[in-house]
Every structure is written in C-alpha cells, then in structure tokens.
C-alpha cells in the first residue's frame, strides 16, 4: 500500500471506531434519549479541540467468546481538549461496546488519562454510562477499578474532578464518582446504587424501581450524592462547562477572572427590604446573594438537598468566591446533620482550589431533637467546624440577623479564624435567644413574682439591651465592623481585595484527622 492508501485506511478505521461496530447499538442508544460517547464529548469540549488517546486499543482477554470480539477503543473513549480555551481531560464510557463495562484494557486507558491529567495539572471529567466490571475478565476488572479509586484519591484537592452520570453506575463503580468533587446526573437515564432493585427485592423484600432507588432526583434531594440534576444531557453538559469556567486548573492556580460592568461600589438598597428586621420572619437568602454578587449570577451546589443552607459559587469584582449562607426560608436556617455535611464539603472544596469564602450568617442554632442527637449531630456539626478551622483561603463573614450559640461559632466566626467579620445593625449575637436566656437566668425571680408574665417580659428586654444590642460584639472586638446593609457588596469586595495576597503557613503534619 502507498502512504496515501495507508492514510486513507487509517481514516476509515478511525471513522468505523467512532460510528461503532454495530449501527443498531447507536440507534438503541438514541432511542433511550442518550447520546453516544463521541457526541457527548463534542458537547462538552470546544469545537474541534478533542484529541483522542488510545482509540485503537483492544482487549487481550480470552474465554467466554471474548477472543472473537475485540472492538477498538474497548468501550471507553479517552483524550483531552479545551473548555473555554483551557485544557480538560475527559473519558466517556461507550455503552455500545460491552455495555461500557470495564475490563483490563478499558481500565488501563483511564489510568493513563488520569495520570496525564495529574502531571498536566488540568481538570478531569468522566462521562459515566457503564455496566460496571466486565464479568468475563473477573478479578482483573476489579483491580482496574481499584486503580481508578487510588488515582481519584491521589488527585483529590489537586485537580478538579467532575463526574457526569449519563447512564447506569452500579456496584463498586459508584465509588469513583463519590470520590470526585462534583457529581452531575440526568433524570430518567442515569442511576447510581451499590445494589440494584433485584438484589434489594431478594434480600429485603422491598419493591423499588431503578430511578426510585438511585435516580437523579433521589441523589439530588435525599442522599446528597449528586450536586446537580438535569432533564437532558445537553443542558447538563452545558452546566459542566459553566462550572469549569469557575474553577482553577489545579490547586496551584486561581480561578479565571472576568471583567464585569457591575460596579464594585454598587449600593445594595434592595437589602433593606429583602431582609425583615423582625428576626422571626423568614426570607429567601438566595435573593440576598443575587443582590450582592456580580450581575446576580450564581451557581448553586446541592440546591435541593439540605435546603436550610445555601452553598453557591459566584463572582465578586470579577473574582470567583464560594458563598455559604443560612437559609431562613427553610427550617428557619438552623444547622442540622445534612446542612453541616453539605457546608463542610463545600468549604473544603473551595479551600482546596483557592476560592475565597464568604459566609452570610442568620442562624438560630443547631436543630434540637432525639433523631439529631442519635444521628450524630455532634460529629457532623464538628465536620463544618473542622472545615472552617482548616481553611487557609481568605474568609469574610457577615452576620445579618441571628447568630446564636455554637452555631454562631461554627459559621466562621472570628474566633475560629475568619479574617474579616462584618455585621449589620440588625445582628443579634448571643448564647441563645433573649426569651430562653431570660427564662434560665431569672427563673427563680420570674417564678416568685406576682405577675410572672410581666417580669419575664421585662427581663427579656433587659437581656436584649444589655447583651444583644447590635454593637455588643463590636465593642469587644469580636466583629470587625458594623456596616450599613446597603454597603455589603462594597465592604466584601474591599475586604477580598485586601486579602488577595493572604498567605497562611500550615503546621507540619502528615494530615489531620477530621470528624468521621
């Protein structure tokens, strides 16, 4: 063959690999509302930027008829490209080949890609649509997963790792997404579970569908496994692109800075109406955040799980920040087990990737109750405390209204290392609410009074005026400044500009031992 003929043969081979060995398999994939691996990669990456790696790889397994079927790519497409002009590594299971099941060659391709992402210092995105370990290859397939898990862990906090669930992910395979930084799911087509409905039925007698057991809404609302859930693959992958635009390439870099026409000194007049002065009235903290950040744009993580706390990425003065805020419209904004876990994970993620933290505080305390205590609210609440204390990025907190008890301390108070602590003149910082405090401190006096209700009311007012007035913490140096709510955006931006060159020396240690 001439060189030209060889080049033509190569192009034909690659085209056949892309189209798949069985056209009917592609039709079945589309009939389920699912795209092929190559189509997904085209949506994720910038146009014509994908460079495939190991596209001609074939398995070496024998037995069970495997030697008679050796398709190129071995059921996974690997390579790199760009998203908004920055390098991103990606692998995508090809469900048309062995149902996307992982074998030795398949795993080896992923290992090689993960190692390249690590040494290159660029994000890794996995597009998951596979049937788990390839049964015909036995323990070598399981060892392949072990190699993925080890690399997920080694790269944790080093490069952003994003898992996109676009099909089934069962058994041990589900642990790789669980080890990554962000998990996206698509409704009706993606599921994650350790044991499927058939096993659940056989062992427990429970009847449940695949979506009911591990669908997108289950993991976005109940388990907290998925941070995001979408109706279709196109919108899901577009949001992955947006997230990548907010993240740095690795832990040694900062997130991209965007120019903005939103003035740094814009006055927030709307905040006077958005947040009621009455501490017992609820409001939507998301509206407060949108008023403060650049152009009102946010990217909320776990929006439908643990809704009593909000964790979102946004920009201030063009720079990416992570915002953690109590949500008074849900459970009055209390901290409970799930809210503590959600916020702790978000704080740790932001700290790992050099994203400054903004904390908006309006918290009445930790949720009381037997179920919370028996469920381990102490150790779960300690996870959030540990995450904040361990964070070295710039940290600015703003107390809007209530900040009571241990929850005040945990929500990035000055005493645990916040660099700048601001407060509105509506702030109430105390061990507990005035009513509860008065009942404890003046219990005997109230009980002995001829008019207990009148005495109790007076003692509540005395406690408020003595210990809960808005300048009490500022007078003792526990709040950097009390600010006009309308100046919140300006104060945050000024604080972050000052902290931009912050450097924190860490104590020498192998690693910490965070609460379980």
Q: Enumerate the active-site residues.
A: 171-172, 406-407
The string of DSSP codes covering 297-363 is -EEEESTTSSTTEEEEEEEETTEEEEEEEE-TTTGGG-B-HHHHHHHHHHHHHHHHTT--EEEEEEE
**Cα–Cα distance, 129 to 168 (Å, whole number):** 6
d(CA 313, CA 299): 5
Return the SS3 of 182: strand
Could you give the CA distance from residue 292 to residue 270 in angstroms, rounded to a whole number? 10
Q: How far is residue 161's CA from residue 183's CA, in Å, rounded to a whole number?
A: 9
Structure tokens at 261: 């026409």
The Cα angle at residue 417 between residues 415 and 418, in degrees rounded to 5: 100
Four-residue CA torsion sign, 183, 116, 151, 507:
negative
C-alpha to C-alpha distance for 395 and 389, rounded to whole angstroms: 11
Q: Could you tell me where the DSSP H helices lie in 227-270?
A: 233-246
- How many C-beta atoms surround the C-beta of residue 222 within 10 A? 11
Q: Which runs of E-coded beta strand occur in 54-177?
A: 76-83, 86-93, 124-128, 161-165, 168-170
- Is the distance from CB of 167 to CB of 129 less than 8 angstroms? yes
Q: How far apart are CA 130 and CA 40, in angstroms?
A: 14
Angle, CA 297 vertex, CA 389 and CA 236 arms, to 5°? 90
């Amino acid at each position: 063959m001439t060189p030209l003929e060889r080049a033509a043969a190569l192009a034909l081979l690659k085209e056949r690999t892309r189209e798949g060995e069985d056209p009917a398999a592609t039709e079945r994939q589309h009939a389920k509302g699912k795209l092929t691996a190559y189509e997904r990669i085209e949506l994720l990456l910038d146009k014509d930027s994908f460079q495939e790696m190991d596209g001609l790889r074939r398995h070496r397994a024998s037995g069970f008829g495997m030697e008679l079927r050796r398709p190129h790519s071995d059921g996974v497409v690997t390579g790199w490209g760009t998203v908004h002009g920055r390098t991103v590594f990606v692998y995508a299971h090809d469900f048309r080949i062995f149902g996307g099941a992982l074998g030795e060659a398949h795993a080896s391709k992923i290992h090689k890609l993960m190692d390249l992402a690590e040494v290159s210092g660029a994000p890794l995105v996995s597009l998951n649509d596979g049937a788990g370990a390839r049964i015909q290859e036995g323990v070598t397939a399981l060892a392949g997963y072990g190699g993925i898990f080890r690399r997920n862990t080694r790269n944790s906090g080093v490069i952003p790792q994003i898992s996109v669930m676009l099909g089934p992910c069962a058994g041990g395979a589900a642990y790789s997404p669980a080890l990554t930084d962000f998990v996206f799911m698509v409704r009706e087509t993606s599921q994650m579970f350790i044991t499927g409905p058939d096993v659940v039925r056989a062992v427990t007698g429970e009847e449940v569908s695949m979506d009911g057991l591990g669908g997108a809404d289950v993991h976005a609302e109940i388990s907290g496994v998925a941070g995001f859930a979408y109706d279709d693959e196109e919108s899901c992958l577009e949001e992955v692109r947006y997230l990548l635009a907010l993240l740095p390439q690795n832990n040694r870099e900062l997130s991209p800075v965007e120019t903005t026409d939103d003035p740094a000194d814009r006055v927030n007049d709307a905040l006077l109406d958005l947040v009621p002065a009455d501490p017992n009235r609820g409001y939507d903290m998301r509206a407060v955040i949108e008023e403060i950040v650049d152009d009102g744009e946010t990217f909320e993580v776990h929006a439908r799980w643990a809704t009593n706390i909000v964790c979102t990425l946004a920009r201030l003065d063009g720079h990416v920040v992570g915002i953690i805020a109590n949500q008074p419209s849900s459970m009055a904004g209390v901290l409970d087990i799930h809210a503590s876990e959600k916020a702790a994970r978000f704080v740790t993620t932001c700290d790992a990737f050099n994203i400054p933290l903004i904390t908006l505080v309006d918290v009445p305390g930790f949720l009381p109750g037997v179920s919370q205590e028996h469920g381990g609210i102490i150790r779960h609440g300690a996870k959030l405390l540990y995450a904040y204390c361990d964070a070295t990025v710039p940290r600015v907190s703003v107390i809007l209204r209530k900040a009571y008890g241990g929850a005040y301390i945990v929500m990035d108070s000055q005493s645990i290392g916040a660099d700048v602590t601001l407060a509105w003149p509506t702030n109430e910082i105390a061990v507990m609410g005035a009513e509860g405090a008065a009942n404890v401190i003046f219990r005997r006096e109230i009980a002995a009074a001829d008019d207990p209700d009148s005495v109790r009311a007076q003692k509540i007012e005395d406690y408020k005026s003595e210990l809960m007035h808005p300048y009490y913490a500022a007078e003792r140096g526990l709040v950097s400044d009390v600010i006009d709510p309308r100046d919140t955006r300006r104060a945050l931006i000024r604080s972050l500009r000052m902290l931009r060159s912050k450097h924190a020396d860490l104590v020498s240690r192998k690693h910490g031992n965070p609460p379980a």
